[in-house]
Amino acid sequence: MAIICYWTWYSIIYPRSNCILADRTSCFRYFFFAVILLIHDNGHGVVLPNKTLSFVFGHIASIFCPVPYYSWKYVHQAHHKWTGW
């Protein structure tokens, strides 16, 4: 995941370079996907052991994607309840 974030920021800073992810929209897609993965894992409580830190981290990480952390966490927990996971 660190490589994807590096390619993303490298492509934004140097858009005409020979980066594998030279297309900016692809770079933003990978970046948002990585952030959503972090938010998802954080919502399950596996990123940080402390619930308060996890709550703060989720809100900070959700700044970079269009999904508010608190509402996403509520809906995602309901999804696991409804599907039996």
> Which pLDDT does position 6 carry in this prediction?
54
> Per-residue pLDDT tens for 20-62?
555 666 777 778 888 888 888 888 888 898 989 989 998 998 8
CA distances from residue 80 to 10, 30, 35 in whole angstroms, order as listed: 37, 25, 20
* Long-range contacts of the stretch 10-17 (C-beta < 8 A, 24+): none
User: Looking at residues 64-77, what average pLDDT do you find?
Assistant: 85
Percent of the chain with pLDDT over 90: 6
DSSP structure string for the chain:
-HHHHHHHHHHHHSTTS--TT-SHHHHHHHHHHHHHHHHHHHHTT-S-SSHHHHHHHHHHHGGGSSS-HHHHHHHHHHHHHHHT-
Domain boundaries, the chain: 2-83
> Which pLDDT does position 56 carry in this prediction?
92
- Taking the whole predicted model, whether its pTM rises above 0.85 is answered as no
